[in-house]
Structure 1
Amino acid sequence: MPLPVIIEEFIIKTNEKINKSNHKVYCKSCVKVLGEIEGKKTSFPNKKDRLIIHFKKCINFFNETTPEKREEIFNLLQKNNTNSTNLQIESFSCEMTSTVSQGSKIIVRLSSYETIDNYIIRSLSSSDMKKFHTLLLRLSLSCGWVLHWVNKPEAEELFQFLNPHLKLPDRRLLGGRILSDAVEDSNNTMIKVLQEDPVEVTLIFNGWTNVRNEHLLDVVIITSEGRPFVWKVTNISSERENYKEIMKKTQEMFIELNNDDIKVCAVIIDSTGPYAVSRIIKRTIVFFPCFAHQVNLCIGEIFKESIEFKESIDKAIQLASFFRNSNNKYFISKLKDQQYEEYNKYFAIVAPGETRWNSYYYVCTSILKTQKALQILAIKFKPPVVETRRCTGDEPTLKRNIYEIIGSAIFWKYLKLLTEILYPYCKILDRLQSDKARLYENENSDSNLTTRLITRLEKRWKEWEQPILIIAFISLTLDFEDL
């Protein structure tokens, strides 16, 4: 196919053949500027797209032409791509049809599409490749992908299309040396930030039990600007949790941080017995009590001072346990059917967390969401007044205590009141401060309960180290303007 006249103006033709159908040509601008010898070191086939790609990167061509002329030439390639789109789609459809009919996996490669290097391309430096590998790791972690995805042919084809210089590493390399280097760089950056803190950093200890029943102790370091850094997590399942062990761990952390030239000004710990004793013995270290933990304990005071609320939460836990027990899968299935019939969706009943008081709020709200479905279910499967042995073929009925809980109007009344009381506490626990939830905005206040709670809180306040608690509270809530 002959070249457009506008392109022939900027090339030098020859009779020398590259293959059966293409002749060798040279860039006229390069020959003119660099001379015959240097200019003809680079040759091209007499193909429009290859020549236009060269013109887009050729400085000599840009110096010899006007913007209007260049735009006219470059548009020839865009028109060519537009005209070939329908053909590419038809080819793609044919390949997909053959894949389905044969019933075997065939990788469809859109070889008719060219790479983006037609417009922009440059080689990657070592720092670029390092950044590229770091981004691959972040992408894998963020999306929850197993590292096998980098070996998939579809992934390789995608990055080949984006830039031929982007070579995906093998999964073993990505999860091995590249991951180790990224972790090391991250640790070095963290240490540098902590060393350069203008004030000093705060050390936070927190212990919890994971799903494997391992007792873990994590250490988080917060800078004076409020930036958190996870320092390490240690398995302390085999160690006794007493004040001597706590002090030993604290001393080890101080020595480790001191060796890295990181200065610690304070330590925040749980308010449990071992931590409280260590705070008294080691007076040279400023120990802050955990404000969130103290607020968590305040919720327990509600159940200690109100028998009605204590009974209501106990009954709510019974309901949650019953409808989460796999032995009661028949009634769980019937409840789901009733939920879909009433609400056109399903609600899961939440289980309480033993050490998370705010989880009791979610237990109450999850039961209230499905109140109507539970009450209809109780009517359908009402147990007999006198319980007898169930015969084969008889439809099962609810347990008497579960039926009475669901049918109790007092239970639902106090459950609703309990959620209204717990709501602001839970907001404080979630964010330490909320714009819309305040204790004083509780419309269904119980003056008797309030008085008894205030008495308990005043007692707890006297037991705390008040100046330190005030400092901790202020430092945790500086970002909230409405305090």
Structure 2
Amino acid sequence: MNNFEISSYLINYDKNKNTGTCKSCKKNVQWAKDRVAAHKRSSCSSATEEEKRFFSKRRSESSIQSNQQISNSVETSAITEEFQNKIDIKLANFFFRTGISLRIVESEVFKELVKELNPSYKLPCTKKLSGAFLDKQFSKCSTVLDEILEYSKNLTLVSDGWTNTRGDHIVNFCIKAPEQKPFFYTSINTSGIIQKAEAVADAIFEVIESLGSQKFCAFVSDNAPVMKAVWKLIETKYPNISAYGCAAHAVNLLIKDIANTTESSKTIKNAEKIIKFVKNHHIVKAKFDEKRLAASIPHTLSLPVPTRWYSLYNSMNELHTMKYVMIQLVDEEGDLMKEIQPKTTSAAVCTLIKTNSFWDCLLKLVKDIEHPSKIIGKLEADDAPLSSVYKYFGDLYNHYENEPIIQEKVKKRLEFLFSSCVGLSYILTPIYAAEGFFFDEDKTDFISTISEYAKKNHPLIADKVENELISFIAEMTSLPQKRKDVIFKMTAEKFWNIVGRDKYPVLFQVSYPIAQMISSSAIAERTWSTFKFIHSRLRNRLTNERVKKLVFLYTNSILTDTLDKNDYILEDGAVLNEIDYEELNE
């Protein structure tokens, strides 16, 4: 580092004030090297370019030297074992909470970063992260959730299946406790199990028994044909557990039913032909995006996901909103488009875009599937009550009052999905008991069902529960308007906990668990997003047991973390639509 004499730049030293006068600009400056340097760099109006460069260089060298001194100081002071362990835990949580690859700790870039932050900290290896650290954090998180489960009743067990990147068939189990966010409980590899009702039920029994069957009130799964038999086996073995299918899944299949008509199938095929043509030819897509953005349309085209029929609405609706962009594209770029090989396909797409009847059919399809598509989102909410199932199917039936064929499809899907708890959860909700829609003689049937339902769990009160249900319905039907404004805004769970507990004590014993049941298995399906992100094709050597622990920590840390509630995987785009789900069966 270059040294300099203060007297070379200042004169007239004042001993009392410790100041001098700048030889160049005649300003008073403190008689100190750093003050002289700062003055020459920025304040001296008469400083030469050479002086400015000299003092700027000196500042840079001083900064480097200072940093080196700090670094050397840190490096020479070893950290304590307690501090090492504390950083280890924070580092492990960083990996487990974000779901990123543990092998990053072996990256030279990551090592350099950590060394710069604290050279004395010793990074753990990947093996330690995926072994001792993972097991320790898994045990810690499990303990927290076990405490929640210990004091919770009326749990709902939710399950769904998936084939992982290695081709293993994995079944996951999530649990929804009242007034708690749902959480991932465990997963099992069922690759060696024949998917027959008895074998599937045995796997479910194992999970139920691990916590105690009396803690559960419901089991929810998808609507595959084998599951209907499984539901019966569960209810036979555990009379206190109601087993039923996912309502969101059922509405998905209803959309499929609507889309499977001859006219709809043809419209979808033509729409997909247009979408693929635009997306698969970069020149066409560039011209299309230019016109789309000029029309202030932010979203682009997307193809429907084969096993997620609500995505059909998104895809078809997006195309329809771009009708005039498409027509403009053909009008202005038609010659370019028709030159794309094979020319027969290009010409057919251009003709299709200019055909009014296609757009009319597309609009009808969009209108036909819009209502059920929006209902799916409501049913997939974590806290969507079971009572909403019958309600939304009633809404669907009334929505298609001029479409008797679709109405029959609605009834058919509800019949497959229906169980006694679906009907009872509906009639036990104050507003539905008084003003709800009922198919045919369902209201009478639900009333008579309550006694049979009570016999399974509360045989001593079974003969009294029907009378209290009749009294409850009569009261809800005759409420004065002022009371309606209060009572009808209550959920079934809230009503039975606050009002019904004392007013209808017998009926309460049956109704309260039913009021806490949920409508879909969406929470289990969403878990596959995390599975796919963590057990990706690039990380296919992870064992199923290790994947389970990583998913467990990622999913459940969101619930227990008081500082960070972000779901980084879903926010980063690993959404349900991108998952290669198994085909949904009718």
Same fold flag (TM > 0.5):
yes
Task: Please name the residue that 1:15 is paired with.
Answer: none
Letter in 1 for 2:310: N
Task: Please name the residue that 2:284 is paired with.
Answer: 334
Task: Please name the residue that 2:206 is paired with.
Answer: 252
Offset of residue 112 of structure 1: 5.8
Distance in 2, Cα, partners of 1:432 & 1:296: 11
Indicate whether 1:358 and 2:305 are aligned. no
Offset of residue 247 of structure 1: 1.7
- 1:215-226 mapped onto 2 (5 Å cutoff): 215-226=169-180
| Aligned partners of 2:105 and 2:111 also within 8 Å | no
Task: Please name the residue that 1:452 is paired with.
Answer: 405
Distance in 1, Cα, partners of 2:65 & 2:185: 46
Letter in 2 for 1:333: I
Which is higher, the Rg of structure 1 or of structure 2? 1
- 1:211-360 mapped onto 2 (5 Å cutoff): 213-258=167-212, 263-282=215-234, 283-285=236-238, 286-304=242-260, 307-323=262-278, 329=280, 331-343=281-293, 348-360=300-312
Indicate whether 1:476 and 2:429 are aligned. no
Distance in 1, Cα, partners of 2:147 & 2:317: 46
Task: Please name the residue that 1:192 is paired with.
Answer: 147
Find the residue that maps to 2:157 and give its secondary structure.
strand
- 1:148-167 mapped onto 2 (5 Å cutoff): 148=106, 152-157=110-115, 159-160=117-118
| Aligned partners of 2:218 and 2:517 also within 8 Å | no
Distance in 2, Cα, partners of 1:423 & 1:88: 71
| Aligned partners of 2:152 and 2:177 also within 8 Å | no
The answer to which of 416-425 and 286-295 deviates more is 416-425
Offset of residue 270 of structure 1: 1.6
Distance in 2, Cα, partners of 1:371 & 1:171: 53
Change (3 A) 1:342 1:272: closer
Distance in 2, Cα, partners of 1:303 & 1:346: 27
| Aligned partners of 2:275 and 2:303 also within 8 Å | yes
| Aligned partners of 1:382 and 1:397 also within 8 Å | no
In structure 2, which of residues 356, 368, 376 is the aligned counterpart of residue 409 of structure 1?
Answer: 356
State the Cα deviation string for residues 58-98 of structure 1 (Å, max 9, x = none).
xxxxxxxxxxxxxxxxxxxxx99xx89999996786799xx
Offset of residue 357 of structure 1: 0.8
TM-score scaled to structure 2, two decimals? 0.50
In structure 2, which of residues 298, 316, 319 is the aligned counterpart of residue 367 of structure 1?
Answer: 319
Letter in 1 for 2:89: T
Offset of residue 429 of structure 1: 2.1
Change (3 A) 1:200 1:214: same
Distance in 1, Cα, partners of 2:360 & 2:377: 26
Distance in 2, Cα, partners of 1:197 & 1:167: 41
| Aligned partners of 1:216 and 1:237 also within 8 Å | yes
Change (3 A) 1:216 1:404: farther
Letter in 2 for 1:468: C
| Aligned partners of 1:335 and 1:377 also within 8 Å | no
| Aligned partners of 1:208 and 1:217 also within 8 Å | yes
Distance in 2, Cα, partners of 1:473 & 1:353: 34
Distance in 2, Cα, partners of 1:412 & 1:245: 49
Find the residue that maps to 2:237 and give its secondary structure.
coil
Offset of residue 276 of structure 1: 0.1
Offset of residue 182 of structure 1: 1.4
Offset of residue 320 of structure 1: 3.6
Find the residue that maps to 1:205 and give its secondary structure.
strand
| Aligned partners of 1:378 and 1:403 also within 8 Å | yes
Unaligned segments of structure 2, at least 5 residues: 1-33, 43-53, 385-391, 426-513, 520-586
Unaligned segments of structure 1, at least 5 residues: 1-78, 97-107, 478-483
Task: Please name the residue that 2:505 is paired with.
Answer: none
Distance in 2, Cα, partners of 1:109 & 1:368: 65
Distance in 1, Cα, partners of 2:183 & 2:122: 32
Distance in 2, Cα, partners of 1:230 & 1:129: 31
Identity percentage over the alignment? 18
Offset of residue 165 of structure 1: 8.0
Offset of residue 446 of structure 1: 6.7
State the Cα deviation string for residues 298-336 of structure 1 (Å, max 9, x = none).
2223325x6543432232233344455xxxx4x343222
Offset of residue 356 of structure 1: 0.8
In structure 2, which of residues 146, 158, 161 is the aligned counterpart of residue 207 of structure 1?
Answer: 161
The answer to which of 215-224 and 463-472 deviates more is 463-472
The answer to which of 131-140 and 246-255 deviates more is 131-140
The answer to which of 278-287 and 166-175 deviates more is 166-175
Offset of residue 250 of structure 1: 1.8
Task: Please name the residue that 1:173 is paired with.
Answer: 128
| Aligned partners of 1:140 and 1:147 also within 8 Å | no
Distance in 2, Cα, partners of 1:354 & 1:369: 22
Distance in 2, Cα, partners of 1:201 & 1:213: 31
Distance in 1, Cα, partners of 2:108 & 2:358: 56
Task: Please name the residue that 1:467 is paired with.
Answer: 420
Offset of residue 273 of structure 1: 1.0
| Aligned partners of 1:244 and 1:278 also within 8 Å | yes
Offset of residue 206 of structure 1: 0.3
Find the residue that maps to 1:218 and give its secondary structure.
strand
State the Cα deviation string for residues 76-126 of structure 1 (Å, max 9, x = none).
xxx99xx89999996786799xxxxxxxxxxx89716859x99xxxx8784
Distance in 2, Cα, partners of 1:175 & 1:376: 56
Find the residue that maps to 1:266 and give its secondary structure.
strand
Task: Please name the residue that 1:30 is paired with.
Answer: none
